[in-house]
Amino acid sequence: MNNNNAEELPNNPIEAQGMLIKAFYKKFGKEALPIIRDMCGRQGRALGLKIKNKVPNTKLSTVAKAFSDSYDPNDIDVITISDETFRIQGTKCPFGLEGTSRELCEAVMEIDHEYFRTAVNEKITLKIKRTLAAGDSRCDAIYELKREK
């Protein structure tokens, strides 16, 4: 095995996944986005099913707390947690997507969107207000549960 010091190595499995996603996107461009979105959605559904069995209830506030507890508090700020809204801001992308593109971020964020849709309710929406991938200074994501009237 070649020990090239210039070779970028991941620090964890999520960074490795991000490196693979970025390489795939670089090679195939926008044509890769539906595949990335689909695979990330599947991962999110699998993770959502797992957390659903670990939390005492499937309220957005409960699932959001478990979700945010899995991140380094130096990298994220939880702005709002309630049964209707979860807003989180981050200063570091766990996938290393900084400076890539908004569209790649949106495809990868299907992991988190499907996680919440699976664990909480299909009516969860995701709005990405800002993203490091598009060059913003921080990420800003809002998950909302639309209540039936």
> Tokens standing for 129?
């207000």
According to DSSP, residue 97 is labeled: -
CA distance 71 to 92: 10
CA angle centred on 129, ends 125 and 130, rounded to 5°:
135
Domain extent listing, the chain? 13-145
pLDDT, position 7: 83
User: Are the beta carbons of 65 and 81 closer than 8 angstroms?
Assistant: yes
CA distance 90 to 94: 9
CA distance 90 to 140: 7
The architecture in CATH of the region 13-145 reads: 2-Layer Sandwich (3.30)
The amino acid sitting at 45 is: R
Q: pTM for the full model? A: 0.91
CA distance 67 to 58: 12
pLDDT, position 1: 46
Q: What is the pLDDT along the chain (149 residues), one digit of tens a residue?
A: 455 557 889 999 999 999 999 999 999 999 999 999 999 999 999 999 999 999 999 999 999 999 999 888 999 999 999 999 999 999 999 999 999 999 999 999 999 999 999 999 999 999 999 999 999 999 999 999 987 66
The amino acid sitting at 52 is: K
At 121 the three-state DSSP class reads coil
Question: Which residue in the block uniquely carries the two structure tokens 């570091």?
Answer: 92
Question: Which residue in the block uniquely carries the two structure tokens 């990298």?
Answer: 75
